[in-house]
Chain A
Amino acid sequence: MGARKSIVALVIVLAILAIAPLGLPRFYTYLIALIVTTGLLSTSLNFVLGFGGIYQFHHAVFYGAGAYGAAIMIAKLGYSGWLGFVAGPLVAAALSFIIGLICVRLSKLYFGMLQISLGSLVWAIVYRWYGFTGGDDGIHGIPMPELVGSPLGAYYFALIVGGLSLLVMHRILNSPFGSTLQGIRDNAVRSQAVGVNVRRHQLAAIVIAGFFGGVAGVLFVVVDNSVFPDMMFWTLSLEITIMALLGGWLTFLGPMLGAAVIVCLRTFVSGFTDYWTLILGILLVLVILFLPEGLLGYVLEAWKRRTSESAEG
């Protein structure tokens, strides 16, 4: 039941967003495209975090890998844009396979800490490899194929690819693989006892999440035409974790909602003050203390309670 409602909600939102550019100034189409990108990133993180119980503390590496993969293919190696768009997520998936393989043998917290460390290594290499990755400058003004070169084209590309990715992830979460993953989250020992090879499933989940993180990275390249090393910095990883938490990490659309809230807040608050990080920190404290199931989680719980009460009364 909940599965179908999510899809309906998603389709409605996508439909609204599809006609939105007709009435909004260019800045807002950029903002919405950014929200879709970041929301996809956050959802891909929550694929393993909220639904798999895996402490994926450095997901941004795969975002950066996807973005840099596409950017380097196009800007440095001269391949066509579409090839670059395909290469990005594949690079991200490969990287997540390697990092996952190293980390998945370890228990939860070690996994998270080691992933942060390995991810930082990738960041350090990208940051210093001036010749290949543009070093701390990044790469800017990446040429795009005609279809997605304009802001409107980029917008619809992000919407379509983002929407499709969400649908695919949703499908996977409702498949036997998804059920098994959630079982592992709730009780890894029991899963083993019913015959599930926990490590293998976790690795597969990490690769899937990394792949879609890479897709988000490609979307950013399309929307912004640039990449920079901070896309892989650990602070971004924790920011998207905050988004997932804020929106509701046990729900599918929660992270998307969280991303929307935070991207909007960041854009508008940064206009008034230099201390966005401080506000983000305080917001996080409030969410942890008072709203740990997130906005969407809270709303769904309240609605469930009301319908069960009215059913009894």
Chain B
Amino acid sequence: MDIISFICSPGVLCQVLVGLSRTVILFIVASGLSLILGVLRIPNIAHGSLYMIGAFMAFTVSKVFGGGITGYWMAVLLAPIIVAALSFIAERAIFCRLYEREHIMLFLLTFAFALIFGDLVKLVWGAEYRTVSMPRFFQGSIPIFGLPFPIYNFFLLIMGPLVAIVLWLIVNKTKMGKISRAAAVDREMVGAVGINVSLVFATVFVIGCYLAGLGGALVAPIVNVTLGMDHTLIIEAFLIVIMGGLGNIWGALLGALIFGLTQSLGILIWPQFGIIFPYAAVIVVLSFRPTGLLRSTW
């Protein structure tokens, strides 16, 4: 059976769609990373840890509200907010003192927080993995291409573009969004016209971290929530952001799409080393467009 008909067969397409729906989570987290990268110009290594905290927090909130559909929605609502609050505290307490310092210091600071948050999770939740049970509302499947497709994954496929649109609206249509875009390009000028640049950075940082927490909360029902989920995620998020263009939200969507496709196809074609396909894609993209597919804010 030749490659094309293999790829276009319903079974494969379904699998690819499932892969894509998981990449939606990656997109949501990566969009937050891209936002912070675009405006504050730091790659936030702690992003993976915040994602993990979001997932663990979703587990706890869901339990507090008795599981089921209420538990789920409360988790999706509250967990990201708690993560955002945590990041706000970190930002105000320590980060904001360093905006004038050398770049690399800020980057290492995010690593410090990644270390601290990682162990904080171990402290609070222990070392075993948790599971968040899928609420009955989302259980089951709907037919796509004649094959059963999990409802929850379908839900994720809708959430992705939704988040993208809301984010785009915030960045391009609100006053805060416009100010942050200006600060990304010329922070001194923005400060000179009397705007508190530090506060702008804080807002952007918190929104970005909120997205990380959201990704974690959304992924909780379909994976084992474990320590170490931060480590692999941050690398994948980096890849997506690099491919898409630093600071560009649509770039993150495009990058996530390419990542999801190449990963799904890769694993289908070469199960043991399918993981290298997304990396190959990044290298190819960067050979033609060294700053990423779409225009970066740098």
Chain A residues at the B interface, C-beta cutoff of 8 Å: 55, 102, 105-110, 112-114, 116-118, 120-121, 124-125, 128-129, 233-235, 238, 241-242, 245, 274-275, 277-278, 280-282, 284-285, 288-289, 292
Contacts and interface: CB of A to CB of B under 8 A. Distances in A.
Interface in B93-144: 94, 97-98, 101, 103-105, 107-109, 111-116, 118-120, 122-123
B272 interface: yes
Given A105-B290, A114-B242, A277-B118, A284 B123 contact: no
Given A55-B104, A114-B286, A275-B122, A284 B98 contact: no
Contact of A281 (B98, B105, B112): B112
A116 B235 contact: yes
Contacts of B112: 281-282, 284-285, 288
28 contacts: A105-B290, A106-B286, A107-B298, A110-B246, A110-B290, A114-B242, A114-B282, A116-B235, A118-B279, A118-B283, A120-B279, A124-B275, A124-B276, A124-B279, A238-B111, A241-B108, A241-B111, A277-B115, A278-B118, A278-B120, A278-B123, A281-B112, A281-B113, A281-B119, A282-B116, A284-B108, A285-B112, A285-B116
A306 to B, nearest CB: 26
Contact of A120 (B105, B235, B291): B235
Nearest to B119: A278
Contacts of A278: 115-116, 118-120, 123
Contacts of B286: 102, 106, 114
Interface in B173-231: 231
Interface residues of B, number: 42
A281 B115 contact: yes
A277 B120 CA distance: 10
Contacts of B45: 238
A120 B275 CA distance: 11
Given A109-B43, A288-B105, 11 more contacts: A120-B235, A121-B276, A275-B119, A275-B123, A278-B118, A280-B115, A281-B116, A281-B118, A285-B109, A289-B94, A292-B101
Nearest to B241: A113
A110 B119 contact: no
Contacts of A102: 283, 286
B73 interface: no
B115 A234 contact: no
A231 to B, nearest CB: 15
Contact of A109 (B101, B103, B115, B283): B103
Interface in B22-69: 41, 43, 45
A277 B253 CA distance: 33
B273 interface: yes
A178 B122 CA distance: 44
B282 A117 contact: yes
A114 B272 CA distance: 23
A241 B108 CA distance: 9
Contacts of A288: 98, 105, 108-109, 112
B43 A113 contact: yes
B77 to A, nearest CB: 29
Given A102-B283, A113-B43, A292 B105 contact: yes
B108 A113 contact: no
A285 to B, nearest CB: 5
A233 B108 CA distance: 16
A274 B235 CA distance: 25
A40 to B, nearest CB: 21
Contacts of B149: none
B239 interface: yes
Given A110-B246, A275-B123, A292-B105, A284 B115 contact: yes
A157 B227 CA distance: 38
B238 interface: yes
A121 B279 CA distance: 7
Nearest to B37: A109
Contacts of B238: 113, 116-117
Contact of B108 (A107, A118, A121, A242): A242
A228 B27 CA distance: 31
Contacts of B119: 275, 277-278, 281
Contact of B242 (A113, A234, A245, A292): A113
